[in-house]
Structure 1
């Protein structure tokens, strides 16, 4: 993803989840997705659908975390 997209996604996640520690980071060698963190903890991936221009956020929730 382009740096501008990452900045917009970071601002979006911070606003929607009302959490200033959320950060979106580029993935090495991957241009169709970015990593989402809360502080230092990885929480998921956000993917860009090139056909529609939409974004999809994927977050796994482990049974041991519940």
Structure 2
């Protein structure tokens, strides 16, 4: 059984909550980060990208 997809979804949730709870970050950057993470998960669920590519997008959501 592959545990990477479950870890990826949990990490995406963790990263999103950390972004949203950050009081020092502007709303426009919060929105950009969360949209990037949601888009990466959506693309993975549709089979367009791999787990590795999804994790890379989640980690670099502000670039």
Greater RCO structure (CA 8 Å; 6+ sep): 2
TM-score clears 0.5: no
TM-score (norm 2): 0.39
TM-score (norm 1): 0.38
Higher strand fraction (1 or 2):
1
